[in-house]
Amino acid sequence: MVEESNEWLEVCAVSKIGDPGAFGFKVMAGKYPLFGFVVQKEGTVYGYKNVCPHAGRPLDWAPNAFLTKTKDHIMCSAHGAMFELDNGLCVGGPCLGRSLMPWNIEVRNDTVFAEIPPEPVII
C-alpha cells in the first residue's frame, strides 16, 4: 500500500519548465533528501524521481539538464539511456523496457506542486 502524505512542495511555475522542457527539484522526506524532476510535453506536466533504473544514478549532468539536445527524450547522463517524456519508458540504452519511477505532482493555477513522501521507515 502506498502511503499518502498530503504535503506538497511548490516546485515552479509551469512556464519555467519549457515545452518541451524539464526542471529538477529536491524535497526533504523527514531528514532524507529526495530528488525529482518535472517534464512538460504538449502542455502536460509529468513528474519522475531523479533515479535511473539502470544503475540508480541521477539522470541530469547539470542543473535541469535532463533532455536530449532535440528535447524529444529524457536522457541519462551516465550511460545514455533514453526515456519517453510522457511515461518514462526506456526506449534505448542499458535499461531498455524499464521505466523511470513516477512522482505524484499536481498543477494548480499554473504552478507545479510535488507530493512530499512520508519519512521513510528504516526496518
Write out the residues near ligand FES by the rule CB under 6 A.
52, 54-55, 57, 76, 78-79, 81, 93-94
At its nearest, how many Å lie between ligand FES and the CB of residue 88?
Answer: 13
The CA distances from residue 80 to 21, 62, 123, in Å, are 18, 14, 34
- Measured distance CA(43)–CA(95) in Å, rounded: 28
Residue with smaller CB distance to ligand FES, 94 or 118: 94
CA distance 97 to 45: 22
Going from the C-alpha of 60 to that of each of 3, 13, 25, 110, the distances in angstroms are: 28, 20, 12, 24
Shortest CB 55 distance to ligand FES, Å: 4
Contact 77, 60 (CB under 8 A): yes
Nearer to ligand FES, 14 or 39 (CB): 39
Report in angstroms how near the CB of residue 106 gets to ligand FES at its nearest.
27
Using the minimum distance from each CB to ligand FES, give the nearer residue, 34 or 78: 78
Residue number with CB closer to ligand FES (18 or 94):
94
CB of 91 vs ligand FES, minimal distance in Å: 12
Determine if the peptide bond prior to 120 is cis (ω within 30°).
no
